Each structure stands twice: as structure tokens, then as C-alpha cells.
Amino acid sequence: MKLFIQLFLTVCFVFGFAGNSFGQISNGCFELMDPCEMISDPYLDPPVYINRPTMWDCDNYVAVQSNFIPGVPPHTGSGGEASWQWVFPDNNVVPYEGEYFVILSTGDIRPDTTYSMMTQDVNFVKGQTVEFYYFFGTMDYVPFDDFATVKFHEIDSNGLILHSQEVLNVSIRDITNYNCTPGWVKLSYFLDPNDPNNYNRIEFYVQDVGDAVYNSYFAIDGLKLGFKPETGDLNDDWMVDFQDFAILGQHWNQDSNDPNLLGWADFDDTNSVDVNDLMIFSSYWLDGEPNICPH
């Protein structure tokens, strides 16, 4: 281990220290909420109160939840509770991280029970990565192929959309009738430096197709934007620092004969964690910026 540290300090001296600064998405962990907005709906008695995600513009049912169980649909038929095949026990969606997540529903409250949308204006920088976890579940069935999308927009000063980039499109055909994604699904999107467009808005959207009898639900959690290190970030906090160095040290000199070999500390795929991996690690030292959700 002593040799390991000496090598590391030498390599750091050679490559120097570097860091980045950048903007981030606000409340991407959905731990912050504007509590108890009353939904005015003459059909609802008692009225519905939902917690809106702070810093987000919302249409229709967009709510911060600590857990979510879909309501039993008012219509009898095949979309009833007995058909649901959601992966969460008792169809109860719980956060990917922290205490809360946000969920968009195609129904539940007016004024429009066919879609819901959530947007935030963000100063994206090319070379950044957008990453989030999503869940899509439905009580509906094909051909009523409800869908959810995530898009980046380039908006001009008049609020008009100049260009859009769809980064996710998931529908009931993808998850099968009455079903859902296999729990939370990670999506990571790299903002290509060669893309001529300058995106400045992110949009999450879910919509009924055909009719509005049975709902579909789109949940988001752990949304991050930043410069993600290409390699060396062993604890996935988007920063290469002493925490990663400690993990690398735990696996120092391990090879394929060692059942504890940490595959991703073997940066050059030689089936051993050695000085060559340390050289690679050091070249990314202090790359990125910590980007974690509060717990």
C-alpha cells in the first residue's frame, strides 16, 4: 500500500490537478416541494391537494410523492387492479433515492385528464451528461398505447420551440399491457459537443392514446446534469477524488484469481488492478464535480 500511495502522489504531480464548474438542474432529486396546491375541480369532493416539485413548471397531475399506489379506476373492465403486473410490491412505487420522487399521471385530476407535463429551463452545456431514473407503469392495454417522453428543446426569446431532441420514448407496447418497466430504469444522455443546437429546456411528458379510461404513470427521480468523468469515478458521485482512490486501494494488486476483483477498477481491462490502472486513474484526478442527491 505504501508503494501505491507513493506512485499515486508521483502521478498526480505529473498530471496536475484539474476541475470543472457548471450549472445544474434545480431540484432534480425532487426532494423539495411546494406543498398542498389545491386542485380546483368541481367534480372532486373533497378537493385534491398535491405537492408540486419546486422549480418546475407543471401541467395537470405532477406531484412529489414519498410513495405512490395508483387509484382504482372508476371503470370496471380489464384495466382493473386485478390485471396490474407492476414490479413493486402491492403496486406501491417508492423513491429511487432520497425520500421523494415525482410522478406524472395521464389522469386523476382536471383540467385535462389526457396528459401531464413538467418542464424546467436549464442552461445545458455541450459535453455535459443528463442522467435520471424513470419508471413507466400502466393500467391500460394496446391499442390504447399510452406513452411517455423526455425531450430537450431549444427555445427562442419568444418562447417558440426551434428544435427538439427526444431522448426517451416508452409506450405500453414496450412494457406490455397492464405492466411496467422493470423497476427504476437509468437513462444517461451525453450532450454531443458537435450538436449544432443549443438546448435550454427539459420536458417530461405522459399522454393517453385513444381514450382516457385507464391511466398510465411516469415517475422520475435522481435527475442530474453535469460533466461526468469518463473513467475513474468508482463510487458514481461524478467526481474523481480520494473516495475513489480509497476504493482503488482496496483492490490494489487484485487479479482475476481474486474473487473480490472490482472489474471497473481495472480501467485497462487487463484483469488486474496495477500501476497502469493507477496511471489512468491519475489522469482523471479531480475530474468532474460532486453531483449527488441529498439523502
Contact residues for Ca ion, defined by CB under 5 A: 29-30, 95, 97-98, 140, 146, 208, 214, 221, 233, 235, 237, 239, 244, 266, 268, 270, 277
Least distance to Ca ion from the beta carbon of 263, Å? 10
**Is the Cβ of residue 141 or residue 199 nearer to Ca ion in the bound state?**
141
Question: Which residue has its beta carbon closest to Ca ion?
Answer: 98
CA gap 115, 216 in Å, rounded: 9
Q: Take residue 183 and report the three cell numbers written for it.
A: 423497476
User: Residue 235 carries which DSSP code?
Assistant: T
Least distance to Ca ion from the beta carbon of 28, Å? 9
**Is the Cβ of residue 192 or residue 268 nearer to Ca ion in the bound state?**
268
Give the number of other CB atoms < 10 A from CB of residue 59: 14
Which CA distances in Å does 155 have to 121, 161, 203, 268?
9, 5, 12, 42
**Is the Cβ of residue 131 or residue 221 nearer to Ca ion in the bound state?**
221
CA gap 217, 92 in Å, rounded: 12
Least distance to Ca ion from the beta carbon of 209, Å? 7
**Is the Cβ of residue 146 or residue 203 nearer to Ca ion in the bound state?**
146
CA gap 28, 89 in Å, rounded: 26
**Is the Cβ of residue 61 or residue 214 nearer to Ca ion in the bound state?**
214
CA gap 50, 271 in Å, rounded: 52
Least distance to Ca ion from the beta carbon of 158, Å? 33
Least distance to Ca ion from the beta carbon of 221, Å? 5
CA gap 217, 203 in Å, rounded: 15
Least distance to Ca ion from the beta carbon of 91, Å? 16
**C-alpha angle 7-239-126 in degrees, rounded to nearest 5:** 125
User: Residue 71 carries which DSSP code?
Assistant: P
**Is the Cβ of residue 34 or residue 97 nearer to Ca ion in the bound state?**
97
